[in-house]
Amino acid sequence: MPDPMIMAQLEKEQAEVERLHQQIAELQKENTEKSSHISQQNEELSKLRDKISQLEAALKAGTVAAVASTADSEVSLLSDYTPSTFL
């Protein structure tokens, strides 16, 4: 017949092992959820970076167009004058 003290200790340790298994399962679930959330945030960040790049390109193109337009206007204004206008 097994020693009651040994059996009590064995049951106690078995309960602890089961508790640790449950804790591991909960932590794995939490880890999976957080990993999924991080992946979603990374995807959103990537989309935002792409949008920023598009906006920067559009801004640069708009600036170049504005400078070109201003230069064209200045050339047009100057062409209205003859050299004698400046004398």
16-25, 56-65, 66-75 — which is least confidently predicted? 66-75
Q: Which domain holds residue 72?
A: 4-79
DSSP state of 80: T
Calculate what percentage of the chain has a pLDDT beyond 70: 79
Predicted confidence (pLDDT) per residue in 48-66, tens digit:
999 999 999 988 888 877 7
Judge whether 86 lies within some domain: no
Separation CA 25–CA 17 (nearest Å): 12
The mean per-residue pLDDT over the stretch 22-45 comes to 98
Judge whether 84 lies within some domain: no
**Number of independent structural domains in the chain:** 1
38 has pLDDT over 90: yes
